């Protein structure tokens, strides 16, 4: 299996497959409604909705980098604002943004020359914008990002459910 194929498989699995660490992002988000997505059941923690927009923004940023653009903060910002009103239609739109971003990053990865995957992406000097990594490490990092925030989604869902049971 080539580096690109392995990265593609890892990213696809973390988003909508059967990763070894537990449920994929789409599995975790399947039964989340707008009310749960917008809830802040844990003080000072991001909501599920905020996490979804954050993941979509960074997925798009990784796609840009794979296409040869210089590293930067996502166009929408690190933590894009949640739509108002926070209703079912806006929640479906947020989920659609994440789905589009996943499709886009996989397409960018598929089109990325194999030799570029071992090259270093430019350095920004900004600690909040990951840079100075290889393209392959950046894609691997995105799969890890999905797993990290997926764990947060699982915890937030449980906390929101417990809050409703009280």
pLDDT of residue 132: 83
pLDDT of residue 148: 96
pLDDT of residue 144: 95
Tokens representing residue 79 in the block: 């933590």
Q: Which domain holds residue 61?
A: 3-165
Q: For every one of its 166 residues, what pLDDT tens digit does the chain have, with 9 covering 90 and above?
A: 578 899 999 999 999 999 888 899 999 999 999 999 999 999 999 999 999 999 999 999 999 999 999 899 999 999 999 989 999 999 999 999 999 999 999 999 999 999 999 999 887 777 777 778 899 999 999 999 999 999 999 999 999 887 766 6
pTM above 0.85, yes or no: yes
pLDDT of residue 102: 98
Question: What's the CATH number where 35 sits?
Answer: 1.20.120.450
Domain count, the chain: 1
pLDDT of residue 2: 73
pLDDT of residue 162: 77
The neighbour count for residue 56, using CB atoms within 10 Å, is 23
The neighbour count for residue 34, using CB atoms within 10 Å, is 19
pLDDT of residue 166: 62
Strand partners, 134: 120
| Region of residue 65 (phi > 0: left; psi between -120 and 50: alpha; otherwise: beta) | alpha
């Amino acid at each position: 299996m080539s580096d690109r194929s392995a990265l593609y498989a890892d990213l696809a699995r973390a988003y909508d497959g059967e990763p070894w660490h537990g449920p994929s992002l789409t599995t975790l988000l399947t039964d989340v409604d707008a009310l749960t997505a917008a809830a802040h059941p844990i003080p000072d923690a991001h909501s599920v909705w905020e996490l979804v927009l954050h993941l979509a923004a960074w997925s798009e940023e990784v796609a840009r980098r794979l296409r040869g653009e210089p590293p930067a903060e996502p166009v929408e910002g690190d933590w894009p604002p949640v739509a108002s009103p926070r209703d079912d239609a806006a929640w479906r739109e947020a989920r659609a943004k994440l789905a589009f971003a996943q499709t886009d990053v996989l397409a960018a990865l598929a089109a990325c020359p194999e030799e570029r995957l071992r090259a270093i992406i430019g350095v920004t000097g900004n600690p909040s914008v990951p840079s100075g990594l290889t393209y392959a490490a950046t894609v691997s990092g995105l799969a890890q990002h999905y797993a990290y925030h997926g764990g947060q989604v699982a915890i937030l869902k449980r906390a929101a459910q417990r809050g409703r049971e009280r």
